[in-house]
Amino acid sequence: MGVEETKEVGENSGTAAVEVKADERVDGGGENDTDDEAREEEDEEGSKLQLGPRISLKQHLEKDKDDESLRRWKEKLLGSVDFDHIGESFEPEVKILSLAIISPGRPNIILPVPENGNPNGLWFTLKEGSSYRLKFTFKVSNNIVSGLKYVNTVWKSGLKVDSTKEMLGTFSPELEPYTHMMHEETTPSGILARGSYSARSKFLDDDDKCYLEINYTFAIQKDWASS
């Protein structure tokens, strides 16, 4: 990935951005998909914990500053934050630095992160029946980001065939990037699995602030794309 000094987040259960389940039956599409997404959003709104007002990281450190043990605990919790350059920003910032598809026995597929969230043309091609993992690195700055999650939806011929939501965790600002690696998955195989897919990936926090949205197309074919 070209980033040697990274903080390993670890592996969480879930599927990578390009997983498509060949044996999953899809009932309906179009408006039904929209209704399902709307209901999911309503359920999330209803169950969302109402938190207190957000304060800056500097304010977190200033609170109880006379309590030496509590101050040391906060500094330990925040890790390698550059305390001399902490600003007054209430809002955390998360920047996705790199995305890669890793498959055993072949070079990594490095995916350039598009600035506008819409890669031009086919973003990548996967070989049917192949094992792969999705790896991404990201950097957190300004403030603590709470409940960072990865959300991905895949369509084929206008029908939703896969929807994934994975909680990544809560992260403090660090000088070094974090790295997250998905569990190994296997692409589906067979004539019904081959073809082009459209997908949308998002990185969101507990407040549903979106740090990156990518709308893209990919393909599953008999073999890897020629390099």
Q: Where are the domains of the chain?
A: 56-87, 89-221
Checking if the pLDDT of 23 tops 50, the result is: no
Query: What confidence tier does 76 reach under pLDDT thresholds 50, 70, 90?
Result: low
Checking if the pLDDT of 130 tops 70, the result is: yes
Lowest mean per-residue pLDDT among 16-20, 144-148, 196-200 = 16-20
- Which residues on adjacent β-strands are paired with residue 204? 149, 210
Mean pLDDT of the chain: 76
Checking if the pLDDT of 167 tops 80, the result is: yes
Fold adopted by 89-221: Coagulation Factor XIII; Chain A, domain 1 (2.70.50)
- SS3 for the chain is CCCCCCEEEECCCCCCCCCCCCCCCCCCCCHHHHHHHHHHHHHHHHHCCCCCCCCCHHHHHHCCCCCHHHHHHHHHHHCCCCHHHCCCCCCCEEEEEEEEEECCCCCCEEECCCCCCCCCCEEEEEECCCEEEEEEEEEEECCCEEEEEEEEEEEECCEEEEEEEEEEEEECCCCCCEEEECCCEECCCCCCCCEEEEEEEEEECCCCCEEEEEEEEEEEECCCCCC
